Every structure is written in C-alpha cells, then in structure tokens.
Structure 1
C-alpha cells in the first residue's frame, strides 16, 4: 500500500468527520486504562461510566441510524472528571482520558473542528509527562532528545500512525471492530500501564 502524502496533521485534518471520530475513539480506548488505574488507586471515579460512554460512540460509528443523546453523555462525562484538588500524576492522566473523550463527544454534537488534533496531542502529552517524570533529566535539550528517542514515545507515534492508516480506509463494521481492537491494545495504555 502506498504511503499517503502529506504530514500526519494534514492527513488527520483530511479525514471525514466520521473517520476523525473513529481515530479519536481508538485513542480514547488506549487512554481508558489510565483512568482505571486512577480509580483503583484513589477509590474515586467510575471507569464503567467512561466505558459506557465510549461504547455509545462506537455504536454511533457502526450504526448510522443510532439516535444517541450526546449532550446527555457529555453531562455524564463531566461528572466523571476527577474533581480532586490533587494534582498528582495519576489524576492528571485520568483527566486526559476525560478531556480526550470530551473532545470526541464535542464532534458528535457538531462542534470542535480541531478536536482530532487535540486528542492526538493529549495522548502524546501524557507520554511526554510520564517520560519526564521517570527520566528526571534537568537539561531541557537532553530531555527533549530522550523523549523523542524513548520507546514509549516511539510506540505512541507508531500507534497513532497505525490508527490513522486504519481510519483512512473505508470504515465498515469489520474495519471499525479492527480499529477498536487496535485501540484497546490488550488493555495496555499509552503509558505501558494496565488497570488490574
């Protein structure tokens, strides 16, 4: 298969709204375990609530006639965002999962032309923060190189490329299922973590 022309962001923006939503849904799948870990460690949050909202997104993508009230889902999602004044690493990663899913819901409610770029950035940003936390490099230039070359960042970039390539195809039911499986990543998040 020939490589599509254009940079990653141009290709993302060239996708149809439905293809962009499928791309974002796959990235949200990979962010969910981070929210699950936050819930496990703090006793806060509701991973099943997040899962239910994302399931409805996949249903809407698969069944064009589905009538889902995404305004109501956005209200439910807002209730699931960590409210703690706690600014710990785990809470911030849980917030990212909610922010990404919220951006996706905005597109289903007819808003947010840049949502697909935001979700891509949120996912990469979480990986960058994790590497900064674990590598502890004070020198900004060395840290930037370390982030770029880190296996988790390489994995994130490869993952987003693979999701984009899949989203650029025609998205019938089987293709959507395959994209969802890709996003689920066997329960491992973009940080290489999994909720038990």
Structure 2
C-alpha cells in the first residue's frame, strides 16, 4: 500500500510509539541529503551535526536502556536551521529535514501524537514543491495532475508505504532497524532524487 492509498493515515494512527519513531527516523534519513546539498552549496549548516542527532535516535530505538538527553539534542538541532532570512528553495528543503527531525525528537521527549503525520506530510510536501519548481506549470488543475502522476511523487508514496508495511509487520529488533535505516539512506539519494554526487 502506498501513502496515497485510503486508510494510510489511519494505519499511522494505530502504530505504537516506537513504530512511529522508526517510521519517522526512516523518512528523516531520506531527507538528510537535501540538507547536505544545501550546506555544501551555501556554506550554512552542519550535516555532521544532524547526522549525530539522527544516529542517537536510532541508538535509542535499538538500545531501550540508552540514556540520551533529547532536550539537549533538540537545542543543538535548533542551531542547525538555515538562516531565517534565506528563503531559497534549498534552504526550505534543508529546513524540512530539520523540522522533521525536530518532530521526531518531540516524540522522544514526550507525547507528540501528531508528529508522525507532520513528518509524512513534510516529506511529500518537499517532493510536491520540487515538481512544481521543475515543471513550471501555472494551471492549478494541470499541476495537481502532474504532481500526482510524477515518478518522484509515485516513488515517495511507495517509499512511505513500504516503511509503514515494515514497521507494522516486523518486530523492531536490531535487524529490522538496520533494514529500515538502509532503506531510508537509499544509497544517498533523497526524496527529491538528489544526492551529493549530483554536484560532482
């Protein structure tokens, strides 16, 4: 089932807290290259800092007794946002990665039931914005149709569906978490089909 299928959000709602966190962490992995590209192009940001925080999330999922101060990590994450006055396309996509990871940290610091929907929508929203930018279509109805049928959006919907299937069907042991992480890393290619290799 893809993220566009009826009942997708209901299935997200029925996940347990750890399942939601694993779902969000996997989506965050796929957003990371967008942040890395922005940092590389603009000189702003610290992809290593973002990587460390996400690694700590995976550690907390794999090692139940891990003692990690996620309040402190949230403070560090806030410092990694693109400058507020940068309204470029790259900055907005980098901010999506930070905001998604921030929503994930919210769930580790307390109860944040809506965070999983925020991350899901944010990832799809970035894909939509990228398609709108690249297609340059001004007719709203035509653009909506283009977005729906675009290979990048189809890939995003299928990816989210695959992640949801995995967290629903498998116990979140080390092997499953490793598989999810690998799935999210997607050979370094983001949800926009971009990677640092594109700059070479």
**TM exceeds 0.5?**
yes
Q: Aligned partners of 2:122, 2:65: CA distance in 1, in Å? A: 30
Q: Aligned partners of 2:166, 2:6: CA distance in 1, in Å? A: 16
Report the counterpart of residue 160 of structure 1 in structure 2: 160
Deviations 1:126-171 (A, max 9, x none): 0000000000111000000000000000000000000001111211
- Give the structure-1-normalised TM-score: 0.96
Q: Secondary structure at the match of 1:45?
A: coil
Please list every run of 5 or more consecutive structure 2 residues that lacks an aligned counterpart in the other structure: none
Report the counterpart of residue 23 of structure 1 in structure 2: 23
Worse-superposed segment, 17-26 or 82-91: 82-91
Structure 1 segments of 4 or more deviating over 4 A? none
1:178 aligns with 2:179: yes
Aligned residues: 192
Report the counterpart of residue 51 of structure 1 in structure 2: 51
Deviations 1:36-90 (A, max 9, x none): 0000100110000000000000000000000000000000000001124110100
Q: Aligned partners of 1:14, 1:195: CA distance in 2, in Å? A: 36
Report the counterpart of residue 13 of structure 1 in structure 2: 13
1:126 aligns with 2:138: no
- Give the structure-2-normalised TM-score: 0.94
The 5-angstrom pairing of residues 137-152 of structure 1 reads 137-152=137-152
Report the counterpart of residue 108 of structure 1 in structure 2: 108
Displacement of 1:6 in angstroms is 6.8
Displacement of 1:111 in angstroms is 3.0
